A and B are shown apart, each in its own frame.
Chain A
Amino acid sequence: MRRALILYSSNPIYSQLSTTRAPPGYVVFPKRDGGWIPPSSSYQPPVFRMRNYKCTLPPPLGSASDSVANRPKMASQDEQDPRISKISSAIRVIPNFPKPGIMFQDITTLLLDTKAFRDTIDLFVERYRGKDISVVAGIEARGFIFGPPIALAIGAKFVPMRKPNKLPGEVISEEYSLEYGTDKMEMHVGAVQAGERALIIDDLIATGGTLCAAIRLLERVGVQVVECACVIELPELKGRERLGDKPLFVLVSSD
């Protein structure tokens, strides 16, 4: 079952809702009069169930002077952005691809829904605009679909992170583990400079191995990885933990 994460939204509509924190144990969805729904009530919340929901409202992504500890670790926040449910339902699950037992999260159907695709990009852009991010690194190949529109909107450069032997000229490589064997990721020498602030984008985080390799490539040349951002997270594969102190932001979580 896929559940949509609740996003903090700077949309002006939401300023009318309560900005106080829900007491622990209270149901997520705020009432229009500004109150919260107590757990003892018979109110039936809509479809989405939040397991392990954190009732705190993390601060939005900070500025260059923020330490890592201040940055939100999860995207779950109080208000549900109305765009999320359409994005979530536009993603198609294909069983047994690429091999038996794997439920493949297919974002190509999201790309066919012009509004949902637009909303996906907007949600990332709203989060990262004006935060001094100069690099958006996208992981081949589906990271190439989401990364460039974000980069263009926030005025950052786009840096492709590729499989071996695809990038011409001088590259640096990082090896990483697969379920069976290893793979390698490459980045152009000179694409990024020490001190730059970077995002890493991919369509999905599973075990986190690929994102980790991307983080290491950027950090090796002195870049500060501000956050990793994906459309989908598979939380049971614990990729988030593998990223260590690097924050992860996702739109949709899929069990």
Chain B
Amino acid sequence: MSAYREKDPRIHGIQSRIRVVPNFPKPGIMFQDITTLLLDPKAFKDTVDLFVERYRGKNISVVAGIEARGFIFGPPIALEIGAKFVPLRKPKKLPGKVISEEYELEYGRDCLEMHLGAVEPGDRALVVDDLIATGGTLCAAMKLLERVGADVVECTCVIELPDLKGRERLNGKALYVLVESH
């Protein structure tokens, strides 16, 4: 849920640091740019702290981050809560043995890969990305983790675009976000 977090005084600073860039990557899309958040050390730290406060002490052993902006938020969280960080990547980036999960895009399909052996059965996992839109990528990430026997505890993002109903696509898995953008 995200409503609870609106009461945290740090949220306002975080939300105001996110920049909206119109018509990127194509006309009609209002792109939520988190890079401006990363330029504010206090707001960036607050972002990570809010996640860490939620997940510390919950026996989470894996933080899976989705390439590439999930690589920015995932590792600081993993380091603070003592979990492994597992990168989930586009095809052919990870060396060695991988498993793949295909998913739908607006036009066509894409694929997400994870290293074999990175995650073990019984691992309790978070999936981290900067933003959830339709939920397609997060879904693929969850499937990869579940296929190797991990328990996906929650998906977590800085931003949610609720109008795109990504939350519903997560098959009942909990989603936690800091900021909603309509």
Contacts and interface: CB of A to CB of B under 8 A. Distances in A.
Interface of A: 92, 94, 97-98, 104, 106, 108, 111-114, 117-118, 121, 140-142, 144-146, 148-149, 151-152, 155-160, 162, 165-169, 188, 191
A152 B85 contact: no
B72 A144 contact: yes
A98 B79 contact: no
Nearest to B94: A108
B85 A117 contact: yes
A149 B72 CA distance: 8
A144 B71 contact: yes
Contact of A168 (B24, B68, B79, B95): B24
Contact of B35 (A94, A104, A117, A188): A188
A113 B82 CA distance: 10
18 contacts: A92-B96, A97-B95, A108-B86, A108-B87, A111-B86, A114-B79, A114-B84, A141-B89, A142-B71, A144-B69, A145-B71, A152-B45, A157-B41, A159-B35, A160-B35, A162-B68, A166-B68, A169-B19
* Range class of the B interface residue count: 35 or more
Contact of B79 (A118, A155, A165): A118
Contacts of B78: 111, 114, 117
B177 to A, nearest CB: 19
Contacts of B85: 111-112, 117, 145
A140 B38 CA distance: 15
A169 B73 CA distance: 21
B41 A156 contact: yes
B82 A114 contact: yes
Contact of A149 (B24, B41, B79, B118): B79
B168 interface: no
B41 A148 contact: no
B84 A158 contact: no
B35 A191 contact: yes
B118 A112 contact: yes
Contacts, number: 106
B68 A144 contact: yes
A191 B93 CA distance: 28
B27 interface: no
A98 B92 contact: yes
B148 interface: no
A165 B25 CA distance: 8
B96 to A, nearest CB: 5
B115 A111 contact: no
A146 B78 CA distance: 12
A160 B72 contact: yes
A96 to B, nearest CB: 9
A155 B40 CA distance: 9
B99 interface: no
A157 B71 contact: no
A148 B71 CA distance: 9
Contacts of A148: 38, 44, 72-73, 75-76
B111 interface: no
Nearest to B76: A149
Contacts of A156: 41
Contacts of B101: none
A108 B115 contact: yes
A117 B86 CA distance: 12
B52 to A, nearest CB: 11
Which residue, of B33, B45, B79, B94, has the highest number of chain A Cβ atoms within 10 A? B79
B31 A141 contact: no
A104 B48 CA distance: 31
B21 interface: yes
Nearest to A148: B72
